[in-house]
Structure formats: structure tokens, C-alpha cells
Chain A
Amino acid sequence: MNMMNEFWLILGMMLVTFLIRYPILAVSGRVGLSPKFMQILRYVPPAVLTAIVVPAVLMPQDTLWLSYGNARLIGATAAALVGFWQKNLLLTILVGMASFLIWQWLV
């Protein structure tokens, strides 16, 4: 890619990202949110994160892959089990990643 295209790509990505993150905070002093709305917002993080994770784990090649051969599925299952059992984020990540890598190497 030539340098000019690269410049426009990065500038464009930077602008759209920043213009998502900033405006609502910029005017936040004048925005009132009802407690009811705040209650709704607590669903945002888990819903968003799940929507990212589930296809990444179950559709690594854009088609559904429900089989023990899918190392991502094994790693995700291990991570979820450890997460519920130990409530330790670092351990969850390490066990999930290790299970994935070992399984991938085995099958």
C-alpha cells in the first residue's frame, strides 16, 4: 500500500473511533441519564463481549464448528470452567490459553 493511502486509512480509522468515544463524554456535563436507563446499561459489557467471543470460538472459519477438533472450543470451555470455579481472571486466561495451545498441538 502506498504511503498516502496508508495515511488516509489510519486517519479515517482514528477519526471514526475517536468520534464514537468522545462526543458523549464531551457533553456529559449536560446530559442527564435516568436511573432506569443506567439499569439497562449494565447489560452492555457482557452482551458486547459475548457477541465478539462466540463467533470467534465457534466460527473460526466462518462456519459453525462444533467438534472436539475445534481447539478454540476446548480452550473456551476450559476457561469458562476455571472462571466459574476459581473467580481468578489471570488463571482463567492462562488455563484457557494453555488448553487451547496443547489441544491444538495434540489434534
Chain B
Amino acid sequence: MQINPSLNVKTARAEFWGGCRAITPLVVGAIPFGIIFGSLAASSGLSFWGTLAMSAFVFAGASQFIALGLLSSGTALPLIILTTFVVNLRHLLYAVTLVPHVRHLPQAWKLPISFWLTDEAFAAAIGRYNQPDASPYKHWYYLGAALFMYINWQLCTWIGLTLGRSIPDAASWGLDFAMSVTFIGMIIPYLIDRPMIAAVCVAGLVSLLAHGLPHQLGLMLAAVCGILAGIVLEQKSTETL
């Protein structure tokens, strides 16, 4: 829905700002999530600088959040790292999707594109890449979106660490729900045909059934089942045509 940039962007600079604009709603959605991450970190045993470093170097919201939960329940570090791996495996699917769009770029571009790959930056960028115009600067659009997301995440972590701790019970307000509504807003534009709806329904159902699997493996299993459901239905509908 929102991720529809204007068609007339031509220069690298215009693409950059176009990316910033397109990701703005997603940045807004990430603000409460980042603040709550920062304010929860201390009670999970992470130091002030450790929390900032995690946001700066790992930069993967959902897995950072899960890591906090595991830390406070006393999970061993290798298991936390393994869980991070499983939760972030979805980025591999995003990276594969980006391959045809970034293959011509030098490594100096591929490095930051990889490091700043998130659900949000990917959603904004793929919306731009899928537009038919042949702008040679679409990676600048990605950069604008990703950089805005990154800076915002650092700021929100810091705000959570400083201000969030002085608000009593900030964690119990459930501000992490902002991530859920953001993702719902990102899913809706995809629901345009029957295979897509099937993919989402199956992914949702399996995610509930498989929720008990260790290390958040249910997430990957649900995603894969959803994708398969979409493919099967797509195959069926092309056969009947």
C-alpha cells in the first residue's frame, strides 16, 4: 500500500530521499519497538554499552528482542546465537530475492546493503525494484530507506536505555505490539490473489501449530509451508487456464 514511490525519481539524490520517504511509516512503527528493547535490556543483564553495541552491530530487531528474553531466562550463549541464526534465516530469503537487482553493483555496495538488510528496508526497496522504470539509481533508494531505519534504531535503543528506564513498567504496556501492526500493514498489499492468500493462511496456521518448536524453528517452518502452499495453488490455477 504505502510503498509506492513517485515514478519520476531520476537522480541518485532523489532516489535516496525517495527511499527515506517510503520507509517513514515503517520507521514510525519501529520506534516503540526500539524504545522497549532499550528499556528491557538492563533487566535482562545487558550493560548500557552492550545494548548499544548490539543494536549497532547486530541490527536485527526481532532477534535482539528474543536474545533479551533468552538472556533473562539464563540460556547459554551458544544457544542464544543459534536462535539468532534461525530467527534471522529469513534474511537469506530476502537476500536471494535481491540478487537480480544488486548483482551488477560493486562489493562496496553489497556490504552495506547486506548489513542493513531488515524486513522494513527490504519491503521498501523491493517495492521500488519492482517498478518498471529503468532507473540506474535504485540502490540509492535502498540506501536511503536502510540508513533511516538504522539511525532510528540506534536512537530508539538509546532513548529506551535512558528515558525508558525512568518510566515505571514501560515493558508491561506491550509497546512491542507496534512491530506486529507494522508487519500487518506490510502484509496486506500482497493479498491480491488466491495463491498469496493461501500462502499467508498456511504460514499463519503452521506458525501456531509449530510455535512450541525450539529455537524459534517454527518461524522458518511456517514460512516455508506458506511459500509451498502459494506455489502449489499457483501451479493449479495455471493448469486450469
Contact = CB atoms under 8 A, between A and B. Distances in A.
Given A33-B99, A43-B230, A53 B183 contact: yes
Contacts of A104: 173-174
B190 A45 contact: yes
A92 B231 CA distance: 29
A51 B110 contact: no
Interface residues of B, number: 97
A13 B84 contact: yes
Interface string A1-27: 101011011111110111011101110
A11 to B, nearest CB: 8
Contact of B80 (A13, A14, A45, A49): A13
Contacts of A12: 77-78, 80-81, 84
Nearest to B98: A25
B163 interface: no
Given A24-B99, A83-B1, A50 B204 contact: yes
Nearest to B123: A45
A89 B186 contact: yes
Interface string B97-139: 1111011100100110111010100110010000000000000
Q: Contact residue range for chain A?
A: 35 or more
B28 interface: yes
Interface in B162-193: 173-174, 176-191
Nearest to B119: A49
B206 interface: yes
B47 interface: yes
Interface of B: 1-3, 24-26, 28-29, 32, 45-47, 50, 53-54, 57-60, 62-64, 67, 71, 77-78, 80-81, 84-85, 88-100, 102-104, 107, 110-111, 113-115, 117, 119, 122-123, 126, 173-174, 176-191, 195-196, 199-200, 203-208, 211, 218-220, 222-224, 226-227, 230-231, 234
Given A44-B223, A45-B122, 16 more contacts: A6-B47, A12-B84, A16-B81, A21-B94, A21-B95, A21-B117, A22-B95, A24-B92, A29-B103, A44-B94, A47-B230, A51-B203, A56-B179, A83-B1, A83-B188, A100-B177
